[in-house]
Amino acid sequence: MSIKASTVFGRFVARRSLKLAIIWGGVFGLLVASSALAYATAYTTDASRAKIASTFGNNIGLKVLLGAPHNLATTAGFTGWRSLGTIIIFGSIWGILTASKAFRGEEAAGRWESFLSGQTTMRRATAQVLGGLFSSVAVMYVIVALATIGLGTLHNIQFTISASLFFAVAAICSAAEFLAVGALASQLMPTRAKAATMTAMTFGLAFVLRAIGNVSAEFHWLVNVSPLGWVENLRPLAGSRPLWLVPIIVFIIAISSLAIFVAGKRDHGESIVADKDTATPKTGSLNHLLPFAWRLIRPTTLAWCAGLLILSTAFSSLAKTAGQAFDASPGIDQALSRISQQASTTGAKTFLSIVFLMLMTIIMLVVANGVSAMREEEADSYLDNLLVAPVGRLRWLSGRIVLMAVTITAMGLIVAVGSYIGTRNVHIAAHDLLLAGINVMAPAAFILGIGILIMGFKPRLTSPLLHALVAWSFIIQIIGSAGNINHYILDTSILHHIALAPVVSPNWRVVLTLVGLGVVGCIVGMLRFKARDLESE
């Protein structure tokens, strides 16, 4: 078998994952550039830099979300902390979703079957897929490295080339780690949803260990046993420590090798943790469109709901301690005002507002993934099986939209309930938390409408454009809190228009506008979907 033939599957996977890798690489590069430029422009004196270092340096809430800061009185230190902390989160999510799709998703779609009928094995196929995925990570590295090097040439920033290259390495580490974990989970679990859930639980554990280690001196050693903590310990641009690459590389190689080994222990379509061989038939949901659609999305939806409940409860339980740190930081009010566009008070509500911002972004990602899954049903020709039956296009699509709307509502209420459970020792009214939960639904509803609109007109761009919009909105919002940015750029972020509840009251005019635009997007997208031909990959 020729070298070209032996790598065909890896090249196929690389091409499929390349678009999103380029988008996320560009987003990460933009985040680095914007963070550095905002800091260098806004804080030009030693006094202002010392003040921002004091404001953010001891902030427990930001330590939980972004990691422990170092050398915040310098452009390099602030940029490394702010940008890497965000990149770690979204790089991990990209790795989780990409790995589960490339392994279990492609296998379920039947693409592995024809490939495995040739001169190859499950282990070789798994190695090829891993190679294709890691090549996408390499592309992401090149984009981030070029952006950081170009940024470093500016006279008011001046990053060295070696520091820029090391930062780019750190930026891709979490994505590579969870690509490997996702590959192993895909060998162990029988479905894509279960593999993604297992990988997400691993990420959650690593995140919690790092968070506890960063806020508790007694348990700081937990940072050193968390894969995310290893990335944080690299400290790029702020006293780089390349020795922490050793556990990261060992982890990636070990987990990837284990995934390849385990792949050889199972047959195509099977898994190590197998489904039940027999089960009581449940055919009732097959006779009606909505119950059938719910059956398809139920595992993933319930997993996300459980994860949001755990995250909202865990983070909100830190509100009292974080609030005390916020009260002791006079500069936090100014930073928060940039995010919410309103005067704010400090304390526990401030921390909860940052938590709600993170959860709001996660819910937007869930919706983006849900709309992308609708598109995949069309692209993989699964939708043809329904449309040949007495099921109209509008009926199918409207049913899925209703389920997504119910999911958005449920998730908004779940984060409100989780926050209420976690803040029982803090005097925050349940009414305020409920309104904050309703507030997080608006941008998700807007994303749903935009997604259906794109799916109607340019279906093949549905996933890339939606994920890019979510990432851009979050990153611009975070950057906006670090310094002055042109208001035209800020206005392109969906999150910039949302009041940061519960520290301030929701802006109901904005909420209704976003929901209304989402409804219009759904209607127009549905009408266009009805009129156009089905498009496969």
Do residues 335 and 311 share a domain?
yes
280 in any annotated domain: no
Note the pLDDT tens digit of each residue in 399-441: 889 999 999 999 999 999 999 988 877 778 889 899 999 999 9
Do residues 183 and 321 share a domain?
no
Q: How far apart are CA 532 and CA 537, in angstroms?
A: 15
Do residues 148 and 212 share a domain?
yes
* Res. 333: pLDDT tops 60: no
* Most confident by average pLDDT, 146-150, 280-284, 346-350: 146-150
Do residues 250 and 373 share a domain?
no
| 283: Cβ contacts below 8 Å, ≥ 6 apart | none
* Res. 534: pLDDT tops 80: no
* Res. 525: pLDDT tops 60: yes
* Res. 134: pLDDT tops 70: yes
234 in any annotated domain: yes
Mark which of 274, 298, 329 sits at the end of a domain: 274
Query: Quick one: which of 157, 4, 22 has its CA closest to 77?
Result: 157
Cβ-based neighbour number of residue 209 at 10 Å: 20
Do residues 253 and 356 share a domain?
no
For residue 283, the model assigns a pLDDT of 55
Taking the complete model, does pTM exceed 0.95, yes or no? Answer: no
Percent of the chain topping pLDDT 70: 82
* Res. 337: pLDDT tops 50: no
- Listed as own residue / partner, the contacts of 515-520 with beta carbons closer than 8 Å and 24 or more positions apart are 515/441, 515/442, 515/445, 515/446, 517/446, 517/449, 518/445, 518/446, 518/447, 518/448, 518/449, 518/450, 519/445, 519/449, 520/449
Mark which of 221, 243, 274 sits at the end of a domain: 274
Q: 33-65 as b/e, with b when 16 or more CB fall inside 10 Å?
A: bbbbbbbbeebeeeeebebbbbbbbebbbbbbb
Largest CA distance in the chain: 71
For residue 278, the model assigns a pLDDT of 53
The single-letter code of the amino acid at 410 is: A
Asked whether the CA dihedral 186, 192, 198, 202 is positive or negative, the reply is positive
Tokens of 234: 């690299």
How many residues appear in the chain? 537
For residue 526, the model assigns a pLDDT of 92
For residue 342, the model assigns a pLDDT of 47
Do residues 296 and 216 share a domain?
no
Q: How far apart are CA 508 and CA 151, in angstroms?
A: 39
* Res. 351: pLDDT tops 90: no
Arithmetic mean of pLDDT, 148-158: 87
Do residues 255 and 305 share a domain?
no
Range scoring the smallest mean pLDDT among 164-168, 174-178, 299-303, 371-375 = 299-303
* Res. 286: pLDDT tops 60: no
For residue 109, the model assigns a pLDDT of 65
279 in any annotated domain: no
For residue 36, the model assigns a pLDDT of 85
Arithmetic mean of pLDDT, 347-370: 84
281 in any annotated domain: no
For residue 116, the model assigns a pLDDT of 60
Q: How far apart are CA 175 and CA 179, in angstroms?
A: 6
Arithmetic mean of pLDDT, 379-390: 68
2 in any annotated domain: yes
74 or 342, which is more confident: 74
* Res. 345: pLDDT tops 60: no
Q: Which domain holds residue 76?
A: 1-274
Arithmetic mean of pLDDT, 314-323: 71
DSSP 8-state assignment for residue 276: P
364 in any annotated domain: yes
Total domain count, the chain:
2
Note the pLDDT tens digit of each residue in 257-272: 999 999 888 766 666 6
32 in any annotated domain: yes
Do residues 205 and 350 share a domain?
no
Mark which of 247, 274, 301 sits at the end of a domain: 274
Range scoring the smallest mean pLDDT among 162-166, 313-317, 455-459 = 313-317
For residue 287, the model assigns a pLDDT of 57
The single-letter code of the amino acid at 427 is: H
For residue 270, the model assigns a pLDDT of 67
Query: Quick one: which of 18, 234, 20, 30 has its CA closest to 146?
Result: 30
Residue 173's pLDDT band, with cuts at 50, 70 and 90, is very high
Residues 485, 401 contacting (CB under 8 angstroms): no
First to last CA, the chain: 28
Residues 436, 506 contacting (CB under 8 angstroms): yes
Residue 340's pLDDT band, with cuts at 50, 70 and 90, is very low
Query: Quick one: which of 237, 172, 197 has its CA closest to 104?
Result: 197
Do residues 469 and 537 share a domain?
yes
* Most confident by average pLDDT, 29-43, 57-71, 448-462: 448-462
The single-letter code of the amino acid at 102 is: A
Secondary structure of 366-377 in HEC code, one letter for each residue: HHHHHHHHHHHH
* Res. 159: pLDDT tops 80: yes
282 in any annotated domain: no
For residue 384, the model assigns a pLDDT of 66
Arithmetic mean of pLDDT, 451-471: 88
Do residues 443 and 501 share a domain?
yes
For residue 343, the model assigns a pLDDT of 47
Query: Quick one: which of 254, 111, 122, 253 has its CA closest to 187?
Result: 122
Q: How far apart are CA 271 and CA 86, in angstroms?
A: 34
Residue 446 CA, chain-centre distance (Å), reads: 18
For residue 31, the model assigns a pLDDT of 82
Do residues 380 and 451 share a domain?
yes
Note the pLDDT tens digit of each residue in 479-509: 665 555 667 777 888 988 888 888 888 999 9
Range scoring the smallest mean pLDDT among 184-188, 224-228, 292-296 = 292-296
CA distances from 124 to 6, 9, 106, 384 (A): 9, 10, 15, 33
| 135: Cβ contacts below 8 Å, ≥ 6 apart | 10, 14
Residue 177's pLDDT band, with cuts at 50, 70 and 90, is very high
Q: How far apart are CA 82 and CA 315, in angstroms?
A: 19
DSSP 8-state assignment for residue 103: I
Q: How far apart are CA 364 and CA 470, in angstroms?
A: 7
Do residues 526 and 455 share a domain?
yes
* Res. 522: pLDDT tops 90: yes
* Res. 444: pLDDT tops 90: yes
Mean pLDDT of the chain: 82
The single-letter code of the amino acid at 303 is: A
Rg (CA), the chain: 23
